[in-house]
Structure 1
Amino acid sequence: MACAGVWTLMVCVLSLPHITAGSIISAAVSVEVLDQDGSEQVRAHYSLVSTLPCPALDEVCPEVHCRDQLSSSPLTGLFPSPGWCLRQWQNTIPQNHTSTLQIGSDGVVSLYSRADLSVRPDTNAVNQPPYVSLPPPVRIRAGCPQEIPVNVMDLDGDEIRCRYEKNGLGEFMRLNEETCTLLYEGGGSPGQYSVQIRVEDFPASVKILNEAKPFSTVSVHLLITVESRADCSTVPEFTGVSPAGGAVIHVLPFGEVQLSITVDSSVSEIAVIGPPGLFVSPMETGRNSQSSVALSWVRGPNQFAHLLSICFAANTQSLQSRIRCIWLQQTRTDPLPPGTELKCKERELQMTLVLPMSFLEKLHVSDLQLNDPACPVFYNTTHVTTTFSLTGCGTKRMHLGSELLYTNTLRSINPNSTISRAGTLILPLACRIPGQQAKAPAFKISTPSEVETFGAVSFWIEFHFPGEGPMAAETRLPRIRSLPPVRAARELRSAGRMDTLDLHVFSNCSLAHAELMVGRCVESDTQDFANSRPLLNHGCAPGNGTFEILTSISTVRIYRLYLGSLGIMGDTMYVECLVHLCVSTKQTQRCPDPCTETTDKALVNSIQTHNYTIRSGPVRLIKATETSSTTAIPSLTAVPVAKPSASHTSSHTLDRGAFWVIAVSLAVLFLQFVTD
């Protein structure tokens, strides 16, 4: 190995792999020492980016005891074609091990790792190997020099050095061993090139590292895409609200991390690689052409690595921004003493904590407080106790997968600015509400129904001419999301048929802040809907013929239909819509807009009913004449029977106002404790 700070060059030209379905794009391994003493094994954490479709676990990890960490909605991206997805898993392996990864008949990727399990004389503890992050697929432009950082971190504060194991770009790629930075000098033909790097940690006291033996080694494999020569102009840049590269965020148990990533221009995607359970919102483009996504991650009980990385890059068809990576450090916790009790009182929606005073000998118990300092914390000579509401005292609500969490924190606050030798307590408290009924011998669970949550409600459809009906004040001078197709409306006025009609969707729910959500609506010429045409999809108009009219009532949705633009030419139509109710658990937020939240992986602070299908009766589309005995108002749906959508089945017959039961109940509690 060359001396620290010297650029090293390895000429080793490999054949260029071709990215096809089932190819490995990048992979990394980090290892951690197991808790038990005397073990000669370590826990390995693997991350792998492959082309779509996502491979099964046994395809990428043929070894036994692999534990899948695939989330229900794996992270994916668009570039390079045909797109990629992230797989993550862990395994217990020997302290010196080479893992062989292969998908299908493509080339093999080997990841080497080694850990020194002896006690270090300088720390009197076993060494912690370094961590290496896995970035989104790397894209560079031929002829445009660029630096590519390899993001690494060591919790022991050791010196970290990187060295090539393989370098497909040969003389066109150099490596700074000290900073772990790749320098692409601009050469090489367009294609994909393998670069494999070993990351090693050394004692900080050693001056000549090339003569020292590293404590441990981990590996990262990158398949770098060199694209056709293009203008080496400015690439997309992240704005100031985006987290800085290299930032470290300490996360307590049940803590939530919320980040915003914004790019200064319109891009095709913001690609993100992160830990299992990371939520990435759909990308939005603002009026100033900025592109942004929101990230959210909740630390629940897990066996993930203590240090987790989130890496992101902005992509256009021909450009990629600089890649940034940040770190999430899961703060280690100490066990709670015997006699500690935390109970969730289901009916009262309360949490009660009892903590032995012997556990708090080094603390000023008078300084203890919850998230809301106004909520009382009591103590005597034996115990500290507090009882607080799940809807007050600063208690937060958040989602952890399919579970709803209520969290608060008991902490000691030193009111004085002077240095004190008193200890510090940070005690996260959490009640978990599972998404389905749970069973365990230690507690009893009941399941409130949708009727108990939202009340006895129903849904129905009505049709009215613009400016008429119960919402006439809203439709006479409507506030429409975008301008209506005036030309199409004019073309139909002489056709003897209706040209414009307002579709009203109602719910009689009286729950405060409840919102009616309309997902999909279709139209058909026949009552059996054998052939149908879309009116709405995810609450959005699929074309130029449907426009939403904004209303002041959250349980009413109105859509203006331009029948000619929608291609509705018959005399009669029938309409079917998929609807549900939603209420946000935070008063400062609204439910997710179905027009933008197109995936169900979102980490949303809301409670929803199941989806229900409602249908209209026959709607006459012929204009009434002066001699006609029929009214000019189209026939309306009375009140159809609300029934579950096709995705929910039941053996029960639902009358109007009958709903499925949401299996939501208070369950087992979790306590954690950390001291400074």
Structure 2
Amino acid sequence: MSQLTLHLLLLALASCALASHYYGGTMTYVSKGQNPDGSFTVDIRYKETFRTGCSTYNRWSCASGNCGTITSLQSGRVDSSSAGFNWCHSDALMTRRLSSDEPFELRMASCCWITNTAGGGLSWRLLTHIDLGTRSDTLAPNRSPVTTVIPHIRLPSNCHRNINLLAHDPDGDQVRCRYGLVYNVECSSCQQHSNFYLDEDTCVLHHYGYTSVGARVFEFVVEDFPTQQISVSYSTGSWASKFPLSPATPSPSSTPYSTAAPGGTPLSRIPLQLIVRIDGAVPSCTEGVYLPRLLSPTPYNGEVFDIAVAQELEIHLKAQATHSLLSDFLISGPLNITEQKTFSGSVAESTLKWTPTENDNGVHFPICFIAESKLGASVYHSEMRCVIVRVGPRAGEANVICSETTMTVEVEKSSIIGLHADHLRLNDPSCTLMSNATHVIGSMSLNSCGTQLEEDDENLIFKNEITTVEDPTAVITRRHEVEIGFSCVYPKTGRVSLEFRAHKVPFIFTERGFGKFTYQFEFYHSSQFSQMVDPSTYPVEVPLKEMIYMEIESSSSIPNTVLFVESCRATPIDDPSYHLYYSIIENGCIIDDTVVVYAENGPDYKFGMEAFKFIGNYDEVFISCSVILCKAGDPSTRCAQGCSNSTAAPAVHHHRRRSVALETASHYISQGPLRLKRSSKESADTVRSDLSSTSLNMNLVFIAGTLLALVAMVCGVVIFKSKHPKVRYQELPNSEF
């Protein structure tokens, strides 16, 4: 044997020895869009765990298609453990530039799984199918499911335990977790272990207990499917059809990358591999005794956190075990996540911290964690929980000046690095922002430039927002890079000299399967519904006990839709969740006995009722309704069910039907305010009282007094816009800026 041959053999053996301590890995991806030169960029994040060291290498090779070139690669340690078995868990970000957005596959393969594992074999295989084409439903590239896992999970042999595998899809697609099936492609042994059951729809791995001691290799594949038939188009002019996953569709057995199956064609495939170690029996399977129990304020499994670029995320973990010694928290998360742990008696706590960068904007990041305890040589794990962190745009730094009739906002240019002042706008893009050397400045009256009004019991809150407008030189844009919310808050005291007309414009929503659709809620003068109340006359004045006529009209690009009014309630402020309310319709059933329905079972709903008042010091009333849009002709939709006295059944059914895009989600829409038209002859007996002994909310008047004066300004604040506002709001009509 020559020295060269011997040297190569030794290198091969060394490489095999290094890789023979493999614990598992995964890969996800997110498109970063098209570049000015026509090429495409994709960020690929992958995790891998080895027993020896935390060095992350690019072992990925191109398995099919045009995989482009690597433009950057970052990697680092996330966590490690020395509890009986040493391992180190690392995370890497690989950026690739591609000549087209057509599908390609990356493969990583080597030798070997850790020794003494059932089903491990010698080699291991990871394969990722990446598709950057534009979806017809979102008009954007597909985003793969988001997942990660603690690479080495320990279970006692005698306990029934579940492992909740994270399978979050940023596009809202249906996700399936299945075993790898294609030998030497998706898996190295493709073994499905006894006493374990994988629920493919929920991605929960059930362990039924009474399993022999030892490590098991699990080689899963995570796939996302559209909820309706869509097409995916590519820059080359080609396209492909994608079909939803039928409930009866079996897993493919030999050709997992075929796109000819109408029963379901995945948009992407990502690997998820790990080791589950079965230890000896534990004296008690009850959590909190030997097995650690996660306590509040630990997030629940699947919880979602929304943070802004450059904003530090903090997640607090807490665990308890009375008969074993808590020793560690194991984590899997993004690069540069840090952990601070404290241990005190039977309780342990940890604080996870992470700050996203500009490149993380718009990305969903998974974080999983497990509490670990010891008793002698025994090691115990809590349940694994995983959360999702959604990164939003950077929150700029601003100063707000509030006067009696105007708002002025001053934004420091240094807080919006990388963006030109000319690319910023208010809610109403026709209103311009001024700029000097250090600040971007906007000044507006309280009812102009898209300013929105919210209110609570004590205050009127005027809100606007600065966001980015498309850079005319950019090829594409899909999200705001900056959202700077600002507001002025005024107490409701005195009388007002300036009256605000708060008529609502049509409500616009977008959902997969229905595209863009609108609801318009209006008041009318008569049961003929021929003359709408003029929006310029709001608040609407109504005499006590006279009929009020209302119409909710839907408009959709999808033909043959019907509107269903699920509920309607009246409140003294524009907030349907306010504690004082009067029910008009519940679960599609009429509650108020003065209600008359003039049109239903079509694209609009016309109804009327007598005006009456809330007892107490309330001067206005708003009507809020929860509405659903359904495709006509299907008897199983919530729209077809009509009035239902049960609240539970429709909710479960509604969730199931939405998965096949037969109906939309419930949306709250509202209109008002209404104001009581008083007369000199009005007396106390004109007030209807329908209170029951158990209700706090059953007395209502249609009223609308003048808005109270803006006497004293409470505060001007800057906010990062929440994606789920807790208070309903309305847009004020524009006046000249």
TM-score, structure 1 as length reference: 0.47
Q: Which has the higher strand share?
A: 2
Tell me the TM-score normalized by structure 2.
0.43
